[in-house]
Amino acid sequence: MTGKYNANGNTACPHRHCFCPMSNFSNPKPICRLVTIQDVENARAVNNLAALSMHNIDNAFSNGVPLADRTHGVWGSTPGEMLHLSGNGLVKYQFESVHDLIGPKQSKQKEKDQLDALHQRIINDATRQSDKDFPRMTVRNGITDGTKMAATERIGNLVILLCVAHTTDGMNLLKPGWTEHHITGKRFRDCIKLQLGFEKWVNESNPRSEVTNSTDLLGTLIKEIQHCFPRQRGNGWNLPKMHSLAYMPHYMLKFGMAQNFSGQIGERALKSIVKDHAQQTQRRPDVFAEQCAAREFEELVLEWAFEDIKPQLGLDFVRVDNTNPNHYSGSGEYEANFLACDNRGRGGVCVDWKDRSKGKLNICISPSLILAIRSFAVENNWMGNIQVTGWTRFKTSLPGLDEQVNFHASEYLYGGPWYDYAMVQFEEPNIERSQTVSPAKVLGFFRYDTVGVPTPSLVEDGHSRDEIYDQSMRDVNVYAVVHTASTYVPWSKIEKDFVVEFKLGPVDTCIYIVKVASIINPLFVFEDYGGSTGEKRFCVLPNSRWGRYFGSRINP
Ligand SMILES: [Zn+2]
């Protein structure tokens, strides 16, 4: 067993796995001479571990504990892992760099505060979106102080930085620094996209050939990080973590996807074995470990005993999410009664909330939703009364997502309107389905209660208004009312661009009543803060598709 010298500018071999000098650590495609067991043995024999910048450590591992790698031993069995390398390392330095790009040290504090405020606004938007398919993030200290973020949150914050760099306000704040360092906005954004793709890709199951061929693209990413996030502090980008990053494909070929050797599992264990018990100890240093162990033991005994008596208590069941697409649940229920109207759709609407307190607060439903239901009826020559049951929150299963997704569509929730965005599937003859999708603001969910009125499904099935009325036809479908983009935004475009600009279409032509099954993915959408028109939006590639953003760019 050996220990490494602290890595500073004068250490000969600062990285534990190779002989490279510090100056090689920013190399985007390094080829290292890796440390072998023989190298260490030879150095130890002549008492010259210092040549490898190593200390000798005599412990249980020193006397030939067998390890799987018989050539590189422990030095080849301890890969860099993404949590510390990226989340707790490189991304942290990137945020420092953004701080310095705006102004070094304490300068330009006003601009830094503005950037933090913008970042916070977009995070607020993101946490308000349908809660799935997007990473975690934080707002505790703003991005320019990256010190207090957890590793996984840093990745979430990197996504938000990407969004910030798309908005007019964000670009104005970043531009002076970009110009000074010859960075274009496009390159800055492309760099983050590639990095986010890589972060996801390393944890996915990829063909060996793809991993082998990934070094060129990873090299590009490493070069771009250094260009777009200039680092003057310390040794610049000559960091052991950068060197480990370049070696990720090597480690992945050896150990499989990066999740297999992620530090997150160990960190989790620390949490459950130590942190969770800390409250139940006296928190005195001399007995802390012992008391944590005792609490862990007690918990295991309780767990074991519980497993044993579960059947007697009738608790030996497994909860399974119903992933049938027809399975849904709505809450925030109301009945909306559309009174008879004239032939231009003018007539009253009464809303009756199941939760009486909402009635007292006089909360209404989206005027666009009312307009959509009324217009559809009038277009199909129905001027009579219609009653619908609607929901302001709707939970449903979506294809390809393991968990059910919540959509909010409410005029008033936590102090204001809250409408989630989603990807909506449309159908058009002779056009491939992947082309006819559109981002849309979800305005509400409802079902027709009145029988014998024209509904989208009945009309689509070819029934006439009179037929529907005479036979008192019933429609059991649940519908969503959506406000779509002015044009389709195909998946292929989002997969290619990661962030895609669109405009919400005009209210009179781009509000549709669609079946709930047409909603195919939650979507994170943000506004162009500081932009001149209020209709400009950006949608972001769902998290589940990020890995392919990187993978599909690898040259075979
Ligand atoms: Zn090396």
Tell me the pLDDT tens digit for each residue of 513-524. 999 989 998 899
For position 57, what pLDDT does the model report?
83
Residue after which a domain boundary falls, among 222, 243, 259: 259
CA–centroid distance, residue 35 to ligand 1 (Å): 9
For ligand 1, a single-atom ion, the residues with CB < 5 A are 18, 20, 32
Looking at the structure, tell me whether residues 41 and 127 fall in a common domain. no
Mean pLDDT of the chain: 88
CA–centroid distance, residue 30 to ligand 1 (Å): 6
For position 325, what pLDDT does the model report?
54
Looking at the structure, tell me whether residues 299 and 367 fall in a common domain. no
> Residue 506: how many CB atoms within 10 A of its CB?
11
CA 403 to chain centre: 15
Residue 318 inside a domain? The answer is no
For the cut 80, the answer to whether the pLDDT of residue 540 exceeds it is yes
CA–centroid distance, residue 26 to ligand 1 (Å): 10
At 249, is the pLDDT very low, low, confident or very high (cuts 50, 70, 90)?
very high
For the cut 90, the answer to whether the pLDDT of residue 555 exceeds it is no
Q: Give CA separation, 189 vs 87, 149, 183, 531, 554, in Å.
A: 18, 21, 10, 18, 19
- Could you list the beta-strand ranges (E) of 2-95: 2-4, 54-56
Residue 102 inside a domain? The answer is yes
Q: What is the pLDDT of residues 420-479, one digit of tens each?
A: 999 999 999 999 998 999 999 999 999 999 999 999 999 999 999 999 999 999 999 999
Residue 235 is part of which domain span?
Answer: 82-259
For the cut 80, the answer to whether the pLDDT of residue 321 exceeds it is no
- What percent of the chain has pLDDT above 90? 56
Overall domain count for the chain: 4
Residue after which a domain boundary falls, among 259, 277, 300: 259
Looking at the structure, tell me whether residues 421 and 523 fall in a common domain. yes
At 131, is the pLDDT very low, low, confident or very high (cuts 50, 70, 90)?
low
At 68, is the pLDDT very low, low, confident or very high (cuts 50, 70, 90)?
confident
At 329, is the pLDDT very low, low, confident or very high (cuts 50, 70, 90)?
confident
Looking at the structure, tell me whether residues 415 and 456 fall in a common domain. yes
CA–centroid distance, residue 39 to ligand 1 (Å): 15
CA–centroid distance, residue 80 to ligand 1 (Å): 12
How many angstroms separate the CA atoms of 299 and 280, rounded? 12
For the cut 80, the answer to whether the pLDDT of residue 82 exceeds it is yes
Q: Are 246 and 112 in contact, with CB atoms under 8 Å apart?
A: no
For position 8, what pLDDT does the model report?
65
For the cut 60, the answer to whether the pLDDT of residue 130 exceeds it is no
Looking at the structure, tell me whether residues 304 and 388 fall in a common domain. no
- Alpha carbons within 13 angstroms on the beta-carbon side of residue 205 total 0
Q: Give CA separation, 447 vs 210, 304, 457, 483, in Å.
A: 48, 48, 11, 18
Looking at the structure, tell me whether residues 297 and 335 fall in a common domain. no
For position 129, what pLDDT does the model report?
66
Q: What is the pLDDT of residues 275-296, one digit of tens each?
A: 888 888 888 888 888 998 999 9
How many angstroms separate the CA atoms of 228 and 86, rounded? 16
CA–centroid distance, residue 268 to ligand 1 (Å): 30
Collapsing DSSP states into helix, strand and coil, what is residue 546? helix
> Residue 279: how many CB atoms within 10 A of its CB?
8
How many angstroms separate the CA atoms of 107 and 229, rounded? 18
The alpha helices in 361-421, defined as continuous H runs, are: 367-379
Looking at the structure, tell me whether residues 195 and 286 fall in a common domain. no
Residue 16 inside a domain? The answer is no
Looking at the structure, tell me whether residues 307 and 347 fall in a common domain. no
The pTM of this model reads: 0.84
> Which one is predicted more confidently, 152 or 395?
395
- 33's tokens: 């001479």
Residue 363 inside a domain? The answer is yes
Looking at the structure, tell me whether residues 49 and 103 fall in a common domain. no
For the cut 80, the answer to whether the pLDDT of residue 326 exceeds it is no
> Which one is predicted more confidently, 533 or 409?
409
Residue with token string 């008596």? 309
CA–centroid distance, residue 78 to ligand 1 (Å): 14
Residue 62 inside a domain? The answer is yes
Looking at the structure, tell me whether residues 87 and 66 fall in a common domain. no
Q: What is the pLDDT of residues 376-428, one digit of tens each?
A: 999 999 999 999 999 999 988 877 777 788 899 988 877 788 899 999 999 99
Q: Give CA separation, 482 vs 263, 406, 423, 471, 516, in Å.
A: 42, 15, 10, 30, 10
Residue with token string 């063909």? 207
Residue after which a domain boundary falls, among 216, 236, 259: 259
CA angle 231, 232, 236 (to 5 degrees): 65
Residue 15 inside a domain? The answer is no
Q: Are 196 and 162 in contact, with CB atoms under 8 Å apart?
A: yes
CA–centroid distance, residue 241 to ligand 1 (Å): 11
Residue 11 inside a domain? The answer is no
CA–centroid distance, residue 206 to ligand 1 (Å): 25
CA–centroid distance, residue 439 to ligand 1 (Å): 46
Looking at the structure, tell me whether residues 285 and 225 fall in a common domain. no
Looking at the structure, tell me whether residues 505 and 519 fall in a common domain. yes
Q: Give CA separation, 21 vs 3, 215, 231, 239, in Å.
A: 17, 21, 19, 11
CA–centroid distance, residue 538 to ligand 1 (Å): 41
Residue 7 inside a domain? The answer is no
Q: Are 499 and 540 in contact, with CB atoms under 8 Å apart?
A: yes
